[in-house]
Amino acid sequence: MDLNNPKTAQAGTLESMDCVVTITGPEKNGVIEITGSASARFETVMKKVINETLDGLGAREPVRVHVQDNGAMDIVLGARVEAAYKRYIGEFTR
């Protein structure tokens, strides 16, 4: 874990029913921050989706996940977290 060499990757948009997921790392401890319209009533379920998605991708290194939400459903949130994480670990050649 190289804490002195942070990386950032992002996926998603601020259109209605979408969200922008920003992943920064490595961190000492995993952090999830959610802001936006639905966060007051859906924080727990959103955190669950984020953690499950990262686990499903075999993420081991702790990261900071920031979600700026504009009404994303679980399907969309999961897809954006996956895209951001894959960009973060450089899986995509772009």
Partner 1 sequence: MERNAVNREIPSRIDGYGSTDGRLFEGAFARKPSGYRAGAKIRAAIPNGSSKLSGSVKEAVMASGLKSGMTISFHHHLRNGDYIVNSVIQACSELGIGDLTIFPTALFDVHKAIIPHIKSGVVSRIMGSDNGAIGRLVSEGGLDSPVVLRSHGGRPRAVISGDVHIDVAFIAAPMVDRMGNISGRSGKSACGSIGYAFTDAQYADVVVAVTDNLHGYPISPISIPGIYVDLIAETESIGDPAGIVSGTTRVTRDPMRLLIAKYASRLIESSPYFMDGISFQTGAGGIPLAVTAFMKEAMKRRDIRGSFGLGGITGFFVDLMKEGLLQKLLDVQSFDLDAVSSIESDPNHIEISADWYANPWNCGAAVNMLDIVVLGATEVDVNFNANVNTEADGMLLHGIGGHQDTAAGAKLSIIAQPLLRGRIPCVVDRVHTITTPGEVIDAVVTEFGVTINPRRKDLLNAWSDFTYARDIPLVSIDELAERAGRMSGPMEPIRAADRVVAVVEWRDGTVIDTVRQLEK
Partner 2 sequence: MRRTMLYLPGNNPNMLLRGHLFEPDGLVIDLEDAVSASEKDSARILVREALRRGEFGKCEVTVRINATDTPHWRDDIAVVVSCGISGVRAPKVDNAQTVRDIDEEISAVEEKSGVPQGSTKIFCLLESALGVWNALDIAKASPRVTAILPGGEDLAADLRTNRSKDGVELEWIRRMIIVAARAAGVDALDTIFPRVNDDDGLRKEAGFVKQLGYDGKSVIHPNQIPIIHEVYAPTEKEIETARRIVEAASAAALRGLGAVSLDGRMIDAPVIKRAEYTLKRAGLDCPKEG
| Residues near partner 2 (CB under 8 A) | 11-13, 15-18, 72-73, 75-76, 78-80, 82-83, 86-87, 92, 94
Residues that bind partner 1 (CB under 8 A): 16-17, 37-38, 40-45, 69-74
Distance CA(74)–CA(4), nearest Å, equals: 33
Tell me which of partner 2, partner 1, none is bound by residue 40, counting a contact when its beta carbon lies within the kind-specific cut-off of 5 to 8 angstroms.
Answer: partner 1
Which tokens hold the place of 45? 């379920």
Cβ neighbours for 18, distance < 8 A, ≥ 6 positions apart: 12, 70, 71, 72, 76, 80
Q: Which is nearer to partner 1, 1 or 45 (CB)?
A: 45
Q: Rounded to the nearest whole angstrom, what is the least distance from the CB of residue 26 to partner 2 in the complex? A: 22
Beta-carbon count within 10 A of 21 CB: 29
| Interacting partner of 89 out of partner 2, partner 1, none (Cβ under 5 to 8 A depending on kind) | none
Alpha carbon distance, N-terminus to C-terminus of the chain: 24
The one of partner 2, partner 1, none whose footprint includes residue 82, by CB under 5 to 8 A per kind, is: partner 2
